[in-house]
Structure 1
Amino acid sequence: MRIKFGFTQGLNVARLGLDETQILTAAQMADRLDYDSVWAMDHSNVPQWKNAVVNDAWLMLAAIGAVTRNVELGTCVTDAIRRHPSAIALSTITLDRITNGRGVLGIGAGEAQNVVDFGIEFSKPVTKFKEQLEVIEKLFESDPDNRVNYEGQYYKLVNACLQAASVRKPRPPVYIAAGAPKTLELCATYGDGWIPIGYTPELFKAHANIIKDHAKKLGRDLSGFQFANDVDIYFSEDGEEAWNKMKNAVKVSLYKPELLKVHNIPQSSEFDFRKYFTEYTMDKPELMEAMKKAALQIPDSVARTAIGVGSPDDVIEMLERFIKAGTNHFIIRFWGDGYFKNIEMFGKKVIPYFRDQQKK
């Protein structure tokens, strides 16, 4: 299977405060440099960076679709808490149609910072997520001659249909953000791909195997399944200096109970990860500070395996570790100075290396 490479315009771009014109320019560069995909973060805000420009992901992807011809375009990731799943399904199909079959739905259970500040209840996210995926799947299959019904605890469809068929058949791909047992099972059941974030190769392999085991029980063929991976890359002539700048942030992105378990790292008794996940908002910066403190217990040796830092050769080495762990679609977050330079360097130095390897 071809190894795919894309990048996400997410927290890294928000930190830089890049505007719409710059984001469109980056996407056009990707289209010329043999990238496979471009992704957009779907947040209402990013509490940690007040000067960030945070736009609507779906509108940005539509704009990107108008100035590109080749790259797939997806959300990394959206949620169906802020929008009814029928709106998510229709947005996905519309994006797929206006980009001639390049739309991808990246979707997760959501997080507090995007909903609580706006008066939207954030409770039972995984239970709701299962229903959202079921509703979206039903609506993807609907049309005026095939109306659908659904009766759930949170969502209901009564003779419902959409009146736009996707270009890609049988539907646009659905990549599911999952990192815990219940959501990994949902990914195996409903997903065409998986998008984790903040992983080491060991954790990636362990969770990929969980997805494969669930799929086997369901009788699903995963031969075309996209085991994607949202990874960080920091090009620098001085890899050690760059690592020292990044390591604490990398540890924060990695800190989660599942990673601690895989690497036999004791969990801090002073930090409640569930509380952070369900309550972190603009008004509660103390939860992020507690997260930063707890994450310091991750050893440097573990954290460094998760990031590509230094020269293109160093980055290639990191990507190869994840390929061995099962990754077949990389979604890059470029950090450091020179965002456009980084996109170009990866496109000219890293992607060709792997294209040549696949020819052998």
Structure 2
Amino acid sequence: MRTGITAAALNSRFVPDLLLRDSKLTAALAGADSLWLPDHLINILPSSIWSPKYTGAARLLPRMDAFYEPWTALGYLAARNRLSRLRLGVGVTDSGRRNPAVTAQAAATLHLLSRGRAILGIGPGEREGNEPYGVDWTAPVARFEEALATIRLLWGSAGRPVSRESEFFPLRDAVFDVPPHRGTRPQIWVGAHGPRMLRATGRYADAWFPTFSQRPKDYGAKLERVRAAASDAGRDPDSITAAGMFFVFPVRCADDEDELLGSVGARALTLCAPAEAWARHGVEHPMGADFSGLQDLLPQSLDEGTVLAHVKTVPRSLQREANMVGTPSEILDQMAEWRDHGLEYAVLLNAAGFVHPSLVKGLRSTAPFVRVLRGLKRL
């Protein structure tokens, strides 16, 4: 199994590239294939609980929402990536907040400057990254489909002016002349979950790249839909890489697991899970029985008291379903089940390093996290 690492790309207290350096070193130690940055302006964890009172990492990262712009940061990493040969990806960018011509330009530029190692992760985005900034959120999937078709058209235009009718991104003699790298464009990895998005993945994507909050058997069933859509579009279904992004909580023993999962930060992450996932564990999502989870979460609107009230009802079983939790060997057993349902490429985020109430223990989670990554290569 191939592996990647997601870096938070947040501004730190001491040097601005602390997390970027740390993630690049971790990727090298683990023999990872790729390094990924998110495209966020607001964190998925509510900033109201981001303090040393609840999370040790707040001592190093005082600004919870101080995300770096991913394409700029990846360009910075590309200049320091001459020897490690890491692939560099955005996991994932919004199709609405950025005009697709600009996204096509950014990805093609990185692909050239990194000598063919760029990956364009893309999806419809989340409400928190669009609505607060004046971006229309009424038709995110339709906007995504139009953005993806626009990017493919521009990349294949060979510098000739192209026109295209579109409700969202019409082109009128548009020119795109950034050349490919040795005849290649960046791979497109699509973060998709719903039926319409799965069909679009099969038609356009090089990889299916969903996030957490689903079970291995659900993953396998959706992968079949993606590959069926690829076949219907005349594509080779096996050419689509079956990938996934996972939050990992590596621990050394059962006592460490109880302390970590009982923390406010770890429990708050489950607010990103949809209501249907909560219902499977006998609990209604605190934001309602129809709440969609991460896609509609507005974390900046939740004050400290509200978050603490919401997370009181989080079942441990839901935390274990939504995340990879346990010792390295236990996590590898969990990942083996995902492999048996088709997973080929796992991109991991060491969530314990951010939400552990102890800064020291959070930093120590790097060692078992590296063991997980090394073990995945042998699955």
Partner of 2:272: 253
Q: Which moved more, 1:272-281 or 1:238-247?
A: 272-281
Equivalent residue runs for 1:194-343 within 5 Å: 194-198=208-212, 199-239=214-254, 240-241=257-258, 242-245=260-263, 248-249=267-268, 251-257=270-276, 259=277, 270-273=288-291, 277-278=295-296, 280=298, 282=300, 284-285=301-302, 293=310, 296=313, 300-301=316-317, 303-337=319-353, 342-343=365-366
Matched position secondary structure for 2:89: strand
Note if contact 2:3-2:376 (Cα within 8 Å) is conserved in structure 1. no
- Residue type of the partner of 1:105? L
Q: Which residue of 2 aligns with 1:66?
A: 79
User: TM-score, normalised to structure 1's length?
Assistant: 0.84
CA contact (8 A) 2:119 2:186 kept: yes
Partner of residue 20 from structure 1, selected from 14, 17, 20: 17
Query: Which of 180, 187, 196 pairs up with 2:194?
Result: 180
Does the CA-based 8 Å contact 1:30-1:343 persist in structure 2? no
Question: What is the CA-CA distance between 1:236 and the residue it aligns to?
Answer: 1.6
How do residues 2-81 of structure 1 correspond to structure 2 at under 5 angstroms?
Answer: 3-10=1-8, 14=10, 19-46=16-43, 48-49=46-47, 51-52=63-64, 53-68=66-81, 69-81=84-96
SS of 1:223's partner is helix
Q: Where does residue 95 of structure 1 map in the other structure? A: 110
Q: Give the match for residue 372 of structure 2.
A: 350
Cα distance in 1 for residues equivalent to 2:220 and 2:282 = 18
For 2:46, the aligned partner's letter is Q
User: Shift in Å at residue 139 of structure 1?
Assistant: 0.8
Over the aligned positions, Cα root-mean-square deviation in angstroms equals 3.2
Share of identical aligned residues, percent?
A: 21
Structure 2: unaligned runs, 5 residues or longer: 51-62, 354-360
Preserved CA contact (<8 Å) 2:122 2:188: yes
Q: Determine which structure has greater relative contact order: mean sequence separation of CA pairs < 8 Å that are 6+ residues apart, divided by chain length.
A: 2
The gaps in structure 1 that reach 5 residues or longer are: none
Does the 8 Å CA contact 1:96/1:102 hold for their aligned counterparts?
yes
Aligned AA for 1:5? Answer: T
Aligned to 1:228, the other structure's residue is in SS state strand
For 1:222 and 1:267, the matched residues in 2 are separated by 37
Q: Distance in 2 between matches of 1:273 and 1:356?
A: 38
Q: Which moved more, 1:74-83 or 1:306-315?
A: 306-315
Contact 2:281 2:318 in 1 (8 A): no
Is the contact made by 2:327 and 2:368 (CA closer than 8 Å) also made in structure 1?
Answer: no
Structure 1 residue 264 displacement after superposition: 9.0
Contact kept? 1:176, 1:187, Cα under 8 Å: yes
Question: SS in structure 2 opposite 1:313?
Answer: helix
Superposed counterparts of 1:90-129, under 5 Å: 90-129=105-144
Give TM-score scaled by structure 2 length: 0.80
**For each residue in 1:266-310, what CA deviation from the matched residue of structure 2 results, as whole angstroms up to 9, or x when unmatched?**
86694442598447263x327x9589849957x644542443323
